């Protein structure tokens, strides 16, 4: 069994001009790519296997990430099936000088664990062994469809 908190991963990217649209903010496609990359890392950490993206739920873009700010992306597993893993995905803009954060984007994704033959393979049970883990799981379940 794997604990929810063991699957929590966050990563940062500095929003550069090559990530930007004509408004000087990060293209939504870049944000989605970053969210999917961190999401699959959380799924693989949980499954102990390679994972592939099966679905990404609707994505809510709340506000942009301007060039020069940091895109902070976090993901964690909050539920698991036989071969699938449900992951909460969130992004925030972060001021690299002050650390101030503001939520920008949220979604949920399902990843499927695959074996060396690229066939679906079973995943372990998910456990929640801390107050932080329980809080994260409740947040995810409250927002999941």
As averages over each run of 10 residues, the pLDDT of the chain (145 residues) reads 95 97 96 98 98 96 97 98 98 97 97 98 96 94 77
Q: How many CB atoms lie within 10 A of CB 129?
A: 12
Q: How far apart are CA 107 and CA 33, in angstroms?
A: 12
Check residue 145 and give its pLDDT: 56
Check residue 4 and give its pLDDT: 95
Q: How far apart are CA 24 and CA 2, in angstroms?
A: 41
Check residue 1 and give its pLDDT: 86
Q: What's the CATH class of domain 2-143?
A: alpha beta
30: closest CA among 97, 75, 91?
Answer: 91
Check residue 99 and give its pLDDT: 95
């Amino acid at each position: 069994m794997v604990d929810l908190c063991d699957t929590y991963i966050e990563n940062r990217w500095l929003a550069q001009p090559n990530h930007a649209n004509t408004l000087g903010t990060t293209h939504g496609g870049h944000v989605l790519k970053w969210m999917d990359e961190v999401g699959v890392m959380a799924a693989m950490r949980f499954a102990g296997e390679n994972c592939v993206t099966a679905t990404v739920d609707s994505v809510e873009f709340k506000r942009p990430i301007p060039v020069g700010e940091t895109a902070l992306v976090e993901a964690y597993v909050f539920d698991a099936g036989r071969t699938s893993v449900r992951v909460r995905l969130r992004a925030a803009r972060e001021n690299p000088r002050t650390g101030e954060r503001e939520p920008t984007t949220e979604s949920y994704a399902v990843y499927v664990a695959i074996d060396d033959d690229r066939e679906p393979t079973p995943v372990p049970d998910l456990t929640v062994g801390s107050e932080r883990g329980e809080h994260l799981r409740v947040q995810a379940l409250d927002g999941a469809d």
